[in-house]
Every structure is written in C-alpha cells, then in structure tokens.
C-alpha cells in the first residue's frame, strides 16, 4: 500500500472476467487489489482469483473488502486473503485478523474511531466515504496524530487534481473502484484501457509524491 500508493477495488461474479481485470491491473503496475465481498458465492470467486494470482502474477497481493463480521473475515483468511478491509469499525474482525497477524483496515469517520482502531492494532485506517470528508479532514487528523496512516476510499479519482489533494494532505494510499475500473469498461472488455488507467494513475501518484 505504501510503496505503490494505489489499491484498486473490484468485484465481478465471473471468474474469467476477474482474471482479465487482474491481468490488466498487474500489467499496469498495480501490485495489490481489493476484491469486494458483494455477491452470492463471492468467496468462491475470490478463491479462484487468489490461486490464479499466486500461480500467474508474481508479487500480486489480493485482499478482501466489504467484510462486515468476524465469520466472513475468517472465511476469507482461510482462502488466503492478505488483508481485510471493512466499511465500519468492528472489534470482532480486529480480533480475528490480529490473531493471524493479517492487516485489517476498518472504515472510520471520526478521530475517536480512528484512535480506537489504532488501540486495536490497526495499521492503516480506511476513510470512508472519502467524498464526505475530503483531504482537509485527513490534514486535520494528522495534526494531532502524525503517526496515523489513512487510505481514503470513495471520492478519489485518477486525476492530477484529486491525487495531488489527497497525497498533499498526507494519505498513505488511495482506494479506487468505479473511477478506475468502471462497469462500462468491464462490460466492453476494454482491458487495454484499464491497463493504461492503472499505469497513468501510478505515474501520477509518483509525480505528486515527488
């Protein structure tokens, strides 16, 4: 997360489509992806994609997002999830992930929630929805808590203006879903465009960090 600064978010029920998306992101320079747990049998799709990544995409790290309870977190850990992302702060998920020493990133929306998450061992806080809070919130949090690592998700776009604002405020990385991997792009099978978008976003991140 810290090295690349980008966490693509994606869900699709078709394993074949998932492999194409993984390939495009990987070729574009992404080295991790958050598979969102949003549909029936999503865990089966993730299991297939994770095995594919391990076999065909050296260095590609897959985690799971939209996890809402400890049971679901445990299920995905058994399937090899390398990190768990939640929309809210759930202490039961913290216990499950900490027991296995797997990174978990809870959705937080206040300094109190962020502080509690860190007390529970959180290394990277998910600011969600990012569009509600904005870069100014991040800057304000880092004033009294410069050790906090924040990943905004929602409200981040792969433009110089957006990335400059977020990274200028001090975020560790950004999560991008529909702004990067749009439904129309997937429906049209334009994976070349996705590869280009990933490469361009990563290049912008390197530029604004410099």
* Predicted confidence band of residue 115 (pLDDT cuts 50, 70, 90): very high
Q: How far apart are the first and last CA of the chain?
A: 17
Report residue 80 as tokens. 């090899």
CATH topology assigned to domain 6-206: TIM Barrel (3.20.20)
Can you list the alpha helix ranges (DSSP code H) found in the chain?
15-27, 42-56, 70-78, 91-100, 111-119, 130-142, 160-169, 183-188, 191-209
Residue ranges per structural domain of the chain = 6-206
Strand order of the sheet with strand 61-65?
A: 150-152, 125-127, 103-108, 83-86, 61-65, 32-36, 6-10, 174-176
Q: How far apart are CA 11 and CA 36, in angstroms?
A: 5
Q: Classify the C-alpha dihedral 93-99-103-108 as positive or negative.
A: positive
pLDDT tens per residue across span 57-114: 999 999 999 999 999 999 999 999 999 999 999 999 999 999 999 999 999 999 999 9
Q: What is the pLDDT of residues 17-70, one digit of tens each?
A: 999 999 999 999 999 999 999 989 999 999 999 999 999 999 999 999 999 999
Whether the Cβ atoms of residue 64 and residue 46 lie closer than 8 Å to each other: yes
Q: Give the separation between CA 104 and CA 125, rounded to whole angstroms.
A: 8
Task: Give percent above pLDDT 70 in the chain.
Answer: 100
């Amino acid at each position: 997360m810290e090295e690349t600064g980008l966490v693509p978010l994606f869900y699709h029920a078709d394993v074949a489509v998932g492999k194409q998306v993984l390939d495009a992101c990987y070729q574009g320079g992404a080295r991790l992806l958050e598979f969102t747990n949003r549909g029936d049998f999503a865990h089966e799709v993730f299991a297939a994609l994770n095995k594919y990544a391990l076999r065909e995409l050296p260095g590609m790290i897959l985690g799971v997002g939209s996890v809402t309870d400890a049971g679901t977190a445990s299920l995905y850990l058994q399937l090899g999830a390398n990190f768990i992302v939640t929309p809210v702060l759930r202490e039961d998920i913290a216990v499950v992930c900490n027991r296995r020493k797997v990174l978990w990133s809870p959705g937080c929306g206040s300094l109190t929630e962020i502080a509690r998450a860190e007390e529970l061992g959180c290394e990277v806080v998910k600011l969600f929805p990012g569009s509600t809070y904005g870069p100014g919130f991040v800057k304000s949090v880092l004033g009294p808590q410069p050790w906090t690592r924040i990943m905004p998700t929602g409200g981040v776009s792969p433009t110089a203006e957006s990335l400059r604002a977020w990274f200028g405020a001090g975020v560790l990385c950004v999560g991008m879903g529909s702004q990067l991997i749009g439904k129309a792009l997937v429906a049209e099978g334009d994976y070349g465009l996705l590869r280009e978008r990933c490469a361009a976003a990563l290049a912008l991140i390197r530029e604004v960090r410099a």
